[in-house]
């Protein structure tokens, strides 16, 4: 819902501070986890213009692709893989 977001300029911290109450408002009253993950991913992508942002859900010994924004991604990643062991390492699988 980019048309409803106020895209902030400034430092990364200022951008996060501006986005946080907007994400809170998007989630308010919505109990569906998938819908909420989708809106969070969209808001982050719009604000920061990231190439890819999204979620993986732990299911057994795998991470399973959940809502995201960006190019196609691996559907499943084994938890013992390098990407799974080092969150935020910048690797895309």
**b/e sequence 39-60, b meaning 16+ C-beta within 10 Å:** bbbbbbbbbeeeeebbbbeeee
Spell out the long-range contacts of 21-27 with Cβ–Cβ below 8 A and sequence spacing 24 or more.
26/1
> Mind listing the pLDDT tens digit for each residue in 10-64?
999 999 999 999 999 999 999 999 999 999 999 999 999 999 999 999 999 999 9
- What are phi and psi for residue 25, nearest 5 degrees? -65, -40
2-85 belongs to CATH 3.30.450.40: yes
At residue 2, the pLDDT reads 43
At residue 20, the pLDDT reads 94
At residue 7, the pLDDT reads 85
Q: Considering only 4-8, 19-23, 65-69, which range has the smallest mean pLDDT?
A: 4-8
| Predicted structure pTM score | 0.77
At residue 5, the pLDDT reads 78
Domain borders along the chain are 2-85
């Amino acid at each position: 819902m980019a048309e409803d977001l106020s895209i902030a300029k400034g430092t990364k911290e200022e951008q996060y501070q501006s986005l946080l109450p907007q994400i809170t408002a998007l989630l308010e009253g919505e109990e569906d986890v998938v819908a909420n993950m989708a809106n969070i991913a969209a808001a982050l992508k719009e604000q920061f213009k990231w190439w890819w942002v999204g979620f993986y859900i732990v299911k057994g010994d795998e991470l399973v692709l959940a809502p995201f924004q960006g190019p196609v991604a691996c559907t499943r990643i084994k938890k013992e893989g390098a990407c799974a062991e080092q969150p935020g390492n910048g690797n895309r699988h």
